Amino acid sequence: MRILLIEDEPDLRRSLAQALREESYAVDVAADGIEGLDKALTWDYDAVLLDAMLPGLDGWGVLERLRRRKATPVIMLTARDGARDRVRGLDAGADDYVVKPFDLGELFARLRAVIRRFGTQAVSRWRLGRVEMDVAARMVWLDGAEVSLTAREYALVEYLAIHRGRLVTRSSLYEHLFDENESTLSNLLDVHVSNVRKKLGRDFIATRRGHGYRIA
């Protein structure tokens, strides 16, 4: 999953981006509202973490303009905990609202929840043939035995599972699994698909040559 973090405070931006990457997300960052809006409109992110108080264009302005074009899930981050500010954010189209300072575990749970809702996956535990996965716990089992996946392998499986039954193009996978600093011309995707097949079965991910991949 690819996340856009729009936050002007350098230390928080850096630490939160690192924590998200450790949770297997690909992360792009922006330090002000203008840059953040440009990225949000240019790429199809799985979710946006949006600070309310930003230079250039504040979070509410970013959200208002984004909602004219896209329905990307947005969680607003703010130091303001007044009901009026929460109502303003939610009325403007935010999917959730988190007050600073926040607990990382809670933020990640809220992030997973809005991504599931956007993908119309209401439950957190899915069965895919012989494979079962719990997206809340980020665990995968094959025939009841837990399988250890790397962060990127898990992200690949989760994204295909959200779109199970549908063909997912290579370009879409690159856009959602890799951030702006990683080359889309590499064979990283092929390597991860091959490793997942070794762990979950060669038929778990089907290939349509020249087009993309799917989970039945």
- Three-state SS for 57-95 is CCHHHHHHHHHCCCCCCEEEEECCCCHHHHHHHHHCCCC
Q: Is 23 helix (H, G, I), strand (E, B) or coil?
A: coil
Phi first, then psi: give them for residue 95, nearest 5 degrees: -90, -20
Give yes or no for a contact between 26 and 1, defined as CB atoms under 8 angstroms apart: yes
Q: Is 119 helix (H, G, I), strand (E, B) or coil?
A: coil
In this prediction, residue 120 carries a pLDDT of 53
In this prediction, residue 81 carries a pLDDT of 65
d(CA 77, CA 152) in angstroms, rounded, equals 26
Q: Is 157 helix (H, G, I), strand (E, B) or coil?
A: helix
The topology (CATH level 3) of 125-214 is Arc Repressor Mutant, subunit A (1.10.10)
In this prediction, residue 104 carries a pLDDT of 93
pTM strictly above 0.85: no
Superfamily (CATH H level) for 2-118 = Response regulator (3.40.50.2300)
Query: Model confidence over 27-58: pLDDT tens digits?
Result: 999 999 999 999 999 988 999 999 988 999 99
CA angle 186, 147, 135 (to 5 degrees): 80
Phi first, then psi: give them for residue 147, nearest 5 degrees: -115, 130
Q: Pick the residue with more confidence: 83 or 58?
A: 58
Identify the bridge partners of residue 51 per DSSP, sorted by sequence position: 77
Q: In what order do the strands lie in the sheet with 74-78?
A: 26-30, 2-6, 47-51, 74-78, 96-99
* Mean predicted lDDT score pLDDT of the chain: 87
Phi first, then psi: give them for residue 75, nearest 5 degrees: -110, 120
d(CA 18, CA 16) in angstroms, rounded, equals 5
In this prediction, residue 162 carries a pLDDT of 85
Query: Model confidence over 96-145: pLDDT tens digits?
Result: 988 888 899 999 999 988 887 776 555 678 888 899 998 777 899 999 99
- pLDDT bracket for residue 14 (50, 70, 90): very high
Phi first, then psi: give them for residue 148, nearest 5 degrees: -90, 120
Domain ranges of the chain: 2-118, 125-214
